[in-house]
Amino acid sequence: MDLENQKRVKEIADQFGPENVIVVLGAAEGEAAGLAAETVTAGDPTYAGPLAGVSLGLLVYHICEPEIKEEVDAGIYDEQVSMMEMVLDVDDIITEMSAIRDQYTKY
Amino acid sequence: MAILEGKKAIIIGDRDGIPGPAIEECLQSAGAEVVFSSTECFV
């Protein structure tokens, strides 16, 4: 994940309390989604950014996961996400995201 | 229990996937407060 974004994630978690924060990703692939999810839960796996060694344990989902999709207004989801969702491997994304949440999310 | 309602949301969109502003509209419709939104290029 972008180093500047890591810095902002850390600041926001500090400011609002990690239990009140949710991170939602739009990554195109399961692997990229998994890496970003790992960064905001276990810490930066590349040890390059501000979240290296920082386990925030934030709640993290991909926008195409069913838990998120069902809470979003269906018309807006259709308009903003559905087109891209058709070309994404959503099953792969769900597998990656669930594995990270099971392992590292604290909230 | 609602996951999004009342939460402070951080959005990390993807230029080749779902961009930040699209996710932002979705989350706001579910009652989350978007506190940060960005669109990355994961490549």
C-beta of residue B8 within 8 angstroms of C-beta of residue A9: no
> Does A25 contact B14 at a Cβ distance shorter than 8 Å?
yes
Alpha helices for A3-59 (secondary structure H): 3-16, 30-41
**ipTM score here?**
0.96
> Does B26 contact A61 at a Cβ distance shorter than 8 Å?
no
Check pLDDT > 80 for residue B1. no
Encode pLDDT of B2-43 as tens digits: 999 999 999 999 999 999 999 999 999 999 999 999 999 755
Nearest CB among A22, A36, A84 relative to B9 is that of A22
Return all residues near A67 (Cβ < 8 A) that are at least 6 apart.
A61, B3
pLDDT value of residue B14: 96
User: How many interchain CB pairs under 8 A, A with B?
Assistant: 121
Radius of gyration in angstroms for the set of CA atoms belonging to chain B, rounded to a whole number? 11
Q: Is A99 on the interface with B (CB under 8 A)?
A: no
Q: Is B17 on the interface with A (CB under 8 A)?
A: yes
pTM of the complete model: 0.97
C-beta of residue A40 within 8 angstroms of C-beta of residue A58: yes
pLDDT value of residue B42: 53
Determine the 3-state secondary structure of A25 from DSSP. strand
> Does A80 contact B25 at a Cβ distance shorter than 8 Å?
yes
Q: Read off the pLDDT of each residue in A86-90 and give the average, rounded to a whole number.
A: 97
